[in-house]
Amino acid sequence: MGIHVEGVTKRFGSFTALHDVSLDVPQGSLTALLGPSGSGKSTLLRVIAGLERPDAGTVTISGEDATTLAPRKRGVGFVFQHYAAFKHMTVRGNIAFGLKIRKRPRAEVRARVDELLALVQLQPFADRYPSQLSGGQRQRMALARALAVEPNVLLLDEPFGALDTRVRSELREWLHRLHEEVRVTTVFVTHDQEEAMALADEIAVLHDGRIEQVGSPRELYDQPKTPFVMSFVGSAAQLGERWVRQHDLDLRLEPVGGAIEARVERIARLGFEARVELQLADSDTIWAQMTCAELDRLELERGATVWVLANQARVFAERP
């Protein structure tokens, strides 16, 4: 069950947004499609929703082949980045829309809408118009609207992208609790790796129309399979052939076997942690991450010479 995407390719004119992409989304899971702009993550989501038709490949939802089905027949709930609120309807009207389309009896519609208003905590705003709501409230309404018709699958396209930071983290928490309660298979698209790591059970990392790796947040961080995944989920520095995480860089004041000489360019204290910008012999610049306590112990100054050791460095095989 869940969602199964097999060999999907999608082109827009001469631009290929998705190359032969395959993905399995387990039933009831909360999965993130993570990647930079242009990686194809939104396209993949829209292909699953039926808002785009793939040029090749299949999409199976809850065991049924949905590749050629119109969106309205797939049982998917879709939430847009900019809410797509029906501006001329009240909050109640928006949430009731899917049920009214299906010609459900009035009493049933009213009961279900009240249930959802309670779920998303928008009861006081039931008779307001979307323009009278804040961004976060509009997005909660959009979620309630999508859930009203009990979809098999819930798809969210950068749902918090248009909101400011504080609202974003509030809604993130809120979506997590919602998923615990409602348990519908959920896929969301984001370019924010922190959001993906905080929310998702499983993350699929996309790059240039291909899936580079699928795994739990921990797997992706601890065992990245490609340089892109390593630098996108968390961050990494490249030393020649080796890739290492900034917090795995060890700075010594004396030369040590295997260490690289570097000069301290800049020191920045960021609350608990500190960043030390280093210029390497071959004029590459990297930065090392450590706690301020560790920085104090080293007593570093601008222009000082240090020796850099890379713990836990990784080498990646050449792409076939």
Partner 1 sequence: MRKLALRTVALGYLALILLGPLSVVFWRAFDKGVGPAWTAVTTPDAVHAFKLTLEITAIAVPANTIFGVLCALLIVRRPFPGKGVLNALVDLPLALSPVVVGFALFLLYGRTGWFGSWLSRHGIQVLFAMPSMILATAFVSIPFVVREVVPVLREIGTDQEQAAETLGASQWQVFRRVTFPAIRWAVAYGVVLTTARSLGEYGAVSVVSGRLAGQTETATLYVSDRYENFDIVGAYAASVVLALMAIVVLVTMNLLRPKEGVH
| Binding footprint of partner 1 on the chain (CB under 8 A) | 49-51, 70-72, 76-78, 80, 82-88, 97-98, 101-102, 142, 145-146, 148-149
* Smaller CB separation from partner 1, 83 or 243: 83
- The Cα-based distances of 92 to 85, 105, 131, 171, 178 in angstroms read 12, 15, 14, 20, 20
Write down the least CB distance from residue 72 to partner 1, Å. Answer: 4
* Smaller CB separation from partner 1, 127 or 150: 150
* Smaller CB separation from partner 1, 101 or 292: 101
* Smaller CB separation from partner 1, 81 or 169: 81
The region that residue 81 occupies, defined by phi over 0 for left and psi between -120 and 50 for alpha, beta otherwise, is alpha
* Smaller CB separation from partner 1, 101 or 253: 101
* Smaller CB separation from partner 1, 82 or 252: 82
* Smaller CB separation from partner 1, 97 or 221: 97
* Smaller CB separation from partner 1, 88 or 177: 88
Q: What pairs with residue 245 in β-bridges?
A: 236
Write down the least CB distance from residue 287 to partner 1, Å. Answer: 40
Write down the least CB distance from residue 105 to partner 1, Å. Answer: 16
**Which structure tokens are listed for 300?**
């570093």
* Inter-axis angle of helices 135-148 and 91-101, nearest 10: 20
Write down the least CB distance from residue 271 to partner 1, Å. Answer: 39
Residue 145 and residue 117: Cα distance in Å, rounded? 10
Write down the least CB distance from residue 4 to partner 1, Å. Answer: 20
Write down the least CB distance from residue 112 to partner 1, Å. Answer: 13
Instruction: Count other C-beta atoms under 10 Å from residue 46's C-beta.
Output: 19
Residue 227 and residue 248: Cα distance in Å, rounded? 16
Query: What are the helix (H) ranges across the chain?
Result: 41-49, 91-101, 106-119, 135-148, 165-182, 193-199, 217-222, 227-232, 292-298
Amino acid (1-letter code) at residue 183: R
Residue 49 and residue 188: Cα distance in Å, rounded? 12
Write down the least CB distance from residue 104 to partner 1, Å. Answer: 11
Write down the least CB distance from residue 12 to partner 1, Å. Answer: 14
- The Cα-based distances of 183 to 2, 50, 176 in angstroms read 12, 22, 10
Which among 81, 36, 84 has a CA at the least distance from the CA of 188?
A: 81
Residue 147 and residue 193: Cα distance in Å, rounded? 26
Amino acid (1-letter code) at residue 57: G
